[in-house]
A and B are shown apart, each in its own frame.
Chain A
Amino acid sequence: MNEFIEWLTQPWPWYVAGPMIGLTVPALLILGNKTFGVSSSLRHVCAMCVPSGIPFFTYNWRKETWNLVFVLGILIGGFIATSFISNPNEIVIASGTQQELAALGITDFSGLMPSDIFSWENLFTGKGLLFLVFGGFLVGFGTRYAGGCTSGHAIMGISSLQWPSLVATISFMIGGFLMTHVFLEPLMKLVGF
Chain B
Amino acid sequence: MKILEKETEEFVCDAPNAQVTGEKGFALVKYLILGILFGIIFVKAEIISWFRIQEMFRLTSFHMYGVIGSAIVTGIISIQLIKRLNIKSISGETIIIPNKEFRKGQIYGGLIFGLGWALTGACPGPLFAQIGSGFTVIIVTLLSALAGTWVYGRFADKLPN
Binding site for B on A (CB under 8 A): 8, 11-43, 45-46, 50, 52, 54-57, 59-60, 63-67, 69-82, 85-87, 91, 93-97, 100-101, 109, 112-114, 117-120, 122-123, 128, 130-165, 167-181, 183-184
Known A31-B90, A97-B58, A139-B127; contact A160-B31, beta-carbon cutoff 8 A: no
| B-side interface mostly | helix
Q: Which residues of B contact A42 (CB under 8 A)?
A: 124, 145-146, 149
CB atoms of B44 and A140 under 8 A apart: no
Interface hub of B28, B73, B153 (most chain A Cβ within 10 A):
B153
CB atoms of A59 and B40 under 8 A apart: no
CB atoms of A23 and B43 under 8 A apart: no
Binding site for A on B (CB under 8 A): 6-7, 9, 11, 13-19, 22-24, 28-51, 53-58, 60-76, 78-79, 81-82, 87, 89-91, 93, 95-103, 105-125, 127-138, 140-154, 156-157, 159, 161
Q: Which residues of B contact A11 (CB under 8 A)?
A: 44-46
Q: How many angstroms between the C-alpha atoms of A167 and B103 in the bound complex?
A: 10
Q: Which residues of B contact A28 (CB under 8 A)?
A: 31, 34
CB atoms of B44 and A8 under 8 A apart: yes
What's the count of A-B pairs with C-beta under 8 Å? 554
CB atoms of B71 and A69 under 8 A apart: no
- Residue from the list A38, A122, A161 in contact with B125, Cβ < 8 A: A38
* Nearest CB of B to A58, in Å: 10
- Residue from the list B28, B73, B125, B128 in contact with A22, Cβ < 8 A: B73
- Residue from the list B62, B75, B114 in contact with A155, Cβ < 8 A: B75
CB atoms of A164 and B38 under 8 A apart: no
CB atoms of A30 and B90 under 8 A apart: yes
What are 27 A-to-B residue pairs whose CB atoms are below 8 Å?
A: A18-B74, A22-B72, A23-B78, A29-B89, A32-B91, A35-B98, A36-B15, A37-B15, A42-B145, A66-B31, A70-B34, A74-B42, A76-B32, A79-B133, A79-B134, A91-B51, A95-B60, A118-B138, A120-B137, A122-B137, A134-B119, A136-B116, A139-B124, A141-B116, A161-B76, A176-B57, A184-B119
Q: Which residues of A contact B136 (CB under 8 A)?
A: 120
- Residue from the list A100, A169, A181 in contact with B110, Cβ < 8 A: A169
Q: How many angstroms between the C-alpha atoms of A32 and B64 in the bound complex?
A: 28
